[in-house]
Amino acid sequence: MGVKERREREKSETRDKILDAARELFITEGYEGVSMRKVAEKIEYSPTAIYVHFPDKNELFRELCHQDYARLAEVFQSSVMSTDPVDRLKQIGAIYIEFGTRYPNHYKFMFMTPHPAHEPDDVDREMMGNPEMDAYAFLKWAVQQAIDAGCFREELRDAALVSQTLWASVHGVIALEIAKGCDAWVDWRPLRDRAEMMLDITLRGLIRTAGGEGK
Partner DNA sequence: GCAGTAACTTAACGTTGTTAACTTAACACC
Partner DNA sequence: GGTGTTAAGTTAACAACGTTAAGTTACTGC
One of 41, 84, 87, 200 touching a second copy (CB under 8 A): 200
Nearer to DNA, 6 or 189 (CB): 6
The footprint of DNA (CB under 7 A) covers 1, 3-4, 6-7, 11, 14, 34-38, 40, 45-49, 51-53, 55-58
DSSP-assigned letter for residue 153? -
Does 187 sit near a second copy (CB under 8 A)?
yes
- Mention every residue, 6+ apart, whose C-beta is less than 8 A from residue 129: 137
Q: Which of 102, 111, 99, 93 is nearest to 195 (CA)?
A: 93
Question: Least distance (Å) from a second copy to the CB of residue 57?
Answer: 13
CA pair distance 185, 188, nearest whole angstrom: 9
One of 14, 101, 144, 165 touching a second copy (CB under 8 A): 165
Rounded-to-integer distance, Cα 165 and Cα 158, Å: 11
Q: Does 176 bind a second copy (CB under 8 A)?
A: yes
Cβ atoms 95, 76 nearer than 8 A: yes
The binder of 160, among DNA, a second copy, none, by C-beta within 5 to 8 A per type, is: a second copy
Question: Could you give the 3-state DSSP secondary structure of residue 152?
Answer: strand
Q: State yes or no: residue 121 binds a second copy (CB under 8 A).
A: no
d(CA 40, CA 201): 47
Rank residues 52 and 168 by Cβ distance to a second copy and give the closer one: 168
Out of DNA, a second copy, none, what residue 112 binds, judged by CB under 5 to 8 A for its kind, is: a second copy
Do the beta carbons of residue 76 and residue 93 sit within 8 Å?
A: no
Contact 137, 130 (CB under 8 A): yes
Spatial separation of the C-alpha atoms in residues 33 and 189, rounded to whole Å: 29
126 binds, among a second copy, DNA, none (CB under 5 to 8 A by kind): none
- Considering beta carbons, is residue 91 or 202 the nearer one to a second copy? 202
To DNA, the closest distance from the beta carbon of 18 in angstroms equals 9
CB of 81 to DNA, least distance (A): 40
Q: What's phi and psi for 152, nearest 5 deg? A: -95, 165
Burial annotation 21-53 (CB, 10 A radius, 16+ → b, else e): bbbebbeeeebeebebeebbebeebeeeebeeb
Contact set for a second copy, span 56-115 (CB under 8 A): 108, 111-115
For a second copy, the binding residues (CB under 8 A) are: 108, 111-115, 117, 119-120, 124, 128, 134, 136, 158, 160-162, 164-165, 167-173, 175-176, 178-180, 182-189, 193-194, 197-198, 200-206, 209-212
